[in-house]
Structure 1
């Protein structure tokens, strides 16, 4: 089994070359990011990744349109754009929480078609506001669409269900069985991101997430498959700030590197 760690471009304010140099020096395997449509900028980003021997996880989050036809057209446009860059995989915030089952199902089928044509795995994130926003809703899709593979960002479900999911075990187990990629952010009952997972007051939430991730790792070890992890603690407004100053209460980069090193040690990477 191999575990590969990716740094989120989300929240980065440094030049991309500087960011990638820091990512490589920290011990990451690659970067998770969306790509610009401007070809020159896209080529430059890909060249920087190559120069630093970093892999790409393509990221799609631009699922903003409420009209399904327009939504699906843009979904395909973004996915084809990411496929051209030959990423390790594409992680999608697919669909909308207010789309019907059939509407979201059509988007899953479109992604499956593009993945089959390209050979690039396209997976779907458990994210608030999107199709897989809640454990109970995701269970319905998992039961009826056996080929769906996911990015497990279970921090969102903790927030949506206002708990550490003790009463959602069936859905959690199904999600774990579908997981090919993890966003290792720690959520809690009242939010998708604790302010600092190193703080002792968050030990219960951290241990709950570690337990879920352990189960994902165990499945991939059994199968001898690659598991990818993005340490996706985010910036403001995910990161709480001091009132009036907008100063973050903790350092996003330091927390993400801490999470990577914690998981590397835990899983013997």
Structure 2
């Protein structure tokens, strides 16, 4: 099994060509990001990926409409825009935490239909504010929708449940069994992102996340199925900042490189 690693475009402030050059030289396989609707702008991005031989994971996060009909219409519009670019797959922050089960299920069903029509795989992220925002809520969706596949970003659940999920074992195990993609950010009980995973005070928190990811890797290895990871530590103010100056306390690029290299070493041979 070959694990592939992707860089987030989120937080990039460099010219896109420079960013992609850095991504390639760092040893990533590709980039995870959304795409604009403007054709020329979109084509420039795709041409740059081609230049640097980088793969593309489509990302959807624009879940803002409160009205479900409007929400579903825009959801489909964004998905089809990403599909047209032929991504490896699409990772969606699907639905809203305040939608009912049936309302969110309508969106999952829509994504499944579009995926069948187009042949592009669509998975759904465990993300605060969205349908899979909490372990116990996600467990219901996993139970009722047996073919639901996810991007496991368990950092959100640590924050939502204000714990390292010791009391959510069954839901976590179920999530691990559904994970095809991982966002390798380290969350903690008081936030979705530690200030720096290299710091010794986060050792237990880091190890907890690594053990969860070990299980995902083992499952995919046993099933001989592909697994992808995006090093998704974010920029300020997701990255904690100093008061008054708003200066980030860590370097997003360096931390994401640390995570990729740590995981490449840990899972070498997988």
TM range (shorter): over 0.9
Unaligned runs of 5+ in 2: none
Inter-partner Cα distance in structure 1 for 2:75 and 2:180: 21
Inter-partner Cα distance in structure 1 for 2:205 and 2:38: 41
Deviation at residue 234 of structure 1 after TM alignment: 0.1
Q: Which residue of 2 aligns with 1:138?
A: 138
**TM-score after normalising by structure 1:** 0.99
Deviation track 1:233-261 (CA, whole Å, cap 9, x = no partner) reads 00011101111111110100000010000
Q: Within 5 Å, which residues of 2 pair with 1:10-89?
A: 10-89=10-89
SS at match of 1:94: coil
Inter-partner Cα distance in structure 2 for 1:117 and 1:169: 36
SS at match of 1:138: helix
1:101 equivalent in alignment to 2:108: no
Inter-partner Cα distance in structure 2 for 1:257 and 1:49: 19
Deviation track 1:27-76 (CA, whole Å, cap 9, x = no partner) reads 00000000000000000000000110000000000000000000000000
SS at match of 1:254: helix
Deviation track 1:99-132 (CA, whole Å, cap 9, x = no partner) reads 0010000000000001111111100000000000
SS at match of 1:133: coil
Q: Which residue of 2 aligns with 1:205?
A: 205
The alignment of Structure 1 onto Structure 2 pairs a total of residues equal to: 269
CA-based RMSD of the aligned residues comes to 0.5
Q: Which residue of 2 aligns with 1:233?
A: 233
Segments ≥4 residues shifted beyond 3 Å:
none
Inter-partner Cα distance in structure 1 for 2:258 and 2:118: 35
Inter-partner Cα distance in structure 1 for 2:195 and 2:123: 28
Q: Which residue of 1 aligns with 2:152?
A: 152
Inter-partner Cα distance in structure 2 for 1:116 and 1:174: 24
Deviation at residue 185 of structure 1 after TM alignment: 0.1
**TM-score after normalising by structure 2:** 0.99
SS at match of 2:117: helix
